[in-house]
Structure 1
């Protein structure tokens, strides 16, 4: 770093909040369960495309030069005084789950733009360029693979594989890129940045429980996604004796219960297991299900323990199939990423920035996946977590962080980016 670190930079919290609330109106819906306004911007839907166009307009208004790659990833670049220097990259995503709030991903993207606005207003030049990125299909809920845009940009997944992925209607990601106009011309593979910093709402209760505003993220735990399809035999609910049934719905329930038993056993470390999607066919009241589909989401900060848990699940599936005549089970890997530790040097820069802003902070591991875990393969990377309210609930219209918390986190981001961008 240069001999004298730049002074802390405070962003315009009111303007940041206006951007967050403005973007939240694109894809907004009234959630009947919570009575709140939610956000539904699945990747590469019309709502996501409208959100992308709005954010591009904000980028261009901030003087950023915008480019779009063949994966639909968007980058806005603010030049530095050294045109040969690798940029400092920040960003996140703006696609959402179907029942989202206003902050997940969006805080990192709009926070990056707010940093650029602030530097422009103060006439601050940096040696290195600063870039703000929007990565495509981070959530993975439409095309089945999370962190997809950043994974292709970092080289973990090939572009052809990503373009061929389909949603539940059979639409391909490549086709939807073309339809929405985001099949960009530039090469998807990122040249290694100097560093990457992502600011994100925590999506958990740790910061609130510790009563601190900012978290310095040490890494991201391992994630395993798979889809299980169970083929049984349809039968009349009233006339078919229980012992003659091949009930795909019952088998799905047994899998769910077994997953909880794996977690509760304590034999697989800090394992977490979730079945977030479950559907049976023909989905009629008086017919024994002939088929069931479910997804399994496993999380573990220890890769060896994750492997053991996956092996235990696979063994259970084999035993279930063998013990139930008429049942067949197939599995499909949707995604798998290992535990990713973040760079200690970038963590120290974030922590020092928080100190210089007078903000108490703690270090914590991320339980959720983020684009940062993919970009970490290219360059020194770390994350800033911003405190959420209501036990840190996320992927829900109740997701909330206060204007003050968002401004504090993005001010730490601004100071961190400024100092990294002045490094040799």
Structure 2
């Protein structure tokens, strides 16, 4: 059994890093103080376990366990990320990294003799909170995003990604692996409904981000009659309500969570409002229909308001199914654990799309709340997650390079 004190000790080490005294949430923006401290913590934890840590040109870390006799065999990867959204929760990302280290301890305690190497990965800029591209580290490492494009990404303070990491061509460390299993706190309530502590991922809903720029006319908030205004805020406000209604009716997801207003004065009608739509749906067709419907209503409203609307897609990830055989195998190893899709994007989806056989394990979230200081998982369920990850890894590591059971 995994020892509770191992997991709890690591969790205690992480708890204060990047935490807001005001909200209790976390700000672990990539390549800033808190996230850099977490990287140092991971290196220390890996070193204490005798693991060799590599950092690729894009800031991804991987700690390798290469027992004798595993030379030449394709590796199994696990892990997650350590960065957070602004004022995010404690579990999204770090739970997968801590659980991977704890699962390794468990395998060693059980005397598992792997036929394959094991890598514990920490992917950089998974949330996209600093440079606006979700899963950026895994996309760069897998070659699905090119460095010539990514190097010019700029954060809110004007810092280029190319000034933070060396970049260049992928160094090939991902090619050493053919399987990836990522443990993550569930970002929903499916496991609560099923009465299960741990589940296995089947797919990631298609999702994307769209920027809505609405142009109007700056004016005085007091002297300008309501009927004389060209107010872009009205167009955005009605679009937000329309998106909510469209998503509710169709059973999909649509969120405007970020807004920028210019000139952003209390006593001024704005001249421009920019808003970002996050949309997710159960299929590519459903997503296309949802996004088209929201844009259509936004344009109709802009025409009534006299404003100008510009819409640009900033990212789009299509429907993705995890490897069905691996998913079924993990569920069987865990005694028939429930299999469920996720509406959130993950590095596991990027790796699956890049040809690395992937799936996920989810740990029950009692409220379903995520990307929030209220995000939570019970200690007992986290320990069950470590046990589950350990069992899955033990099963996968028992295969040689040709897939035969050792």
RMSD between superposed Cα atoms in Å:
2.0
Matches within 5 A, 1:2-41: 10-32=1-23, 37-41=24-28
Residue 303 of structure 1 is matched in structure 2 by: 284
Alignment CA distance shift 1:90-1:84 (3 Å): same
Alignment CA distance shift 1:352-1:264 (3 Å): closer
Give me the whole-angstrom Cα distance separating, in 2, the residues matched to 1:292 and 1:210: 42
Alpha-carbon displacement from aligned partner over 1:18-75 (angstroms, at most 9, x marks no partner): 212311221112234xxxx332101221111111111111012111111111111111
Q: Secondary structure at the match of 2:174?
A: coil
Pairwise CA distance, 1:184: 10
Give me the whole-angstrom Cα distance separating, in 2, the residues matched to 1:387 and 1:238: 51
Moved more, 23-32 or 363-372: 23-32
Matches within 5 A, 1:211-230: 211-230=195-214
Residue 118 of structure 2 is matched in structure 1 by: 130
Q: Secondary structure at the match of 1:30?
A: coil
Is residue 2:259 matched to residue 1:275?
A: no
Give me the whole-angstrom Cα distance separating, in 2, the residues matched to 1:184 and 1:111: 31
TM superposition score normalised by structure 1: 0.89
Alpha-carbon displacement from aligned partner over 1:123-166 (angstroms, at most 9, x marks no partner): 43201100000011111122111111112222221122222211
1:56 to 29, 32, 43: 43
Moved more, 87-96 or 335-344: 335-344
Is residue 2:145 matched to residue 1:154?
A: no
2:243 to 244, 250, 259: 259
8 Å contact from structure 2 (residues 140, 170) kept in 1: no
2:270 to 289, 294, 318: 289
Pairwise CA distance, 1:170: 1.8
8 Å contact from structure 1 (residues 93, 109) kept in 2: yes
Pairwise CA distance, 1:353: 2.6
Alpha-carbon displacement from aligned partner over 1:380-423 (angstroms, at most 9, x marks no partner): 2111110112x121112221112211111111111111111112
Q: Secondary structure at the match of 2:101?
A: helix
Residue 187 of structure 1 is matched in structure 2 by: 171
Is residue 2:326 matched to residue 1:346?
A: yes
Give me the whole-angstrom Cα distance separating, in 2, the residues matched to 1:216 and 1:310: 29
Q: Secondary structure at the match of 1:209?
A: helix
Residue 4 of structure 1 is matched in structure 2 by: none
8 Å contact from structure 2 (residues 141, 170) kept in 1: no
Alignment CA distance shift 1:185-1:120 (3 Å): farther
Moved more, 92-101 or 162-171: 162-171
8 Å contact from structure 2 (residues 369, 375) kept in 1: yes
Gaps of at least 5 residues in structure 1 are: 1-9
Pairwise CA distance, 1:109: 1.0
Matches within 5 A, 1:382-397: 382-389=359-366, 391-397=367-373
Residue 79 of structure 2 is matched in structure 1 by: 91
Aligned residues: 398
8 Å contact from structure 2 (residues 60, 121) kept in 1: yes
Give me the whole-angstrom Cα distance separating, in 2, the residues matched to 1:264 and 1:46: 39
Give me the whole-angstrom Cα distance separating, in 2, the residues matched to 1:281 and 1:262: 28
Q: Secondary structure at the match of 1:128?
A: coil
Give me the whole-angstrom Cα distance separating, in 2, the residues matched to 1:13 and 1:217: 25
Is residue 2:143 matched to residue 1:167?
A: no
Q: Secondary structure at the match of 2:315?
A: strand
Matches within 5 A, 1:324-343: 324-325=305-306, 327-343=307-323
Pairwise CA distance, 1:251: 1.3
Alignment CA distance shift 1:188-1:284 (3 Å): farther
Give me the whole-angstrom Cα distance separating, in 2, the residues matched to 1:296 and 1:185: 32
Give me the whole-angstrom Cα distance separating, in 2, the residues matched to 1:258 and 1:376: 34
Residue 216 of structure 2 is matched in structure 1 by: 232
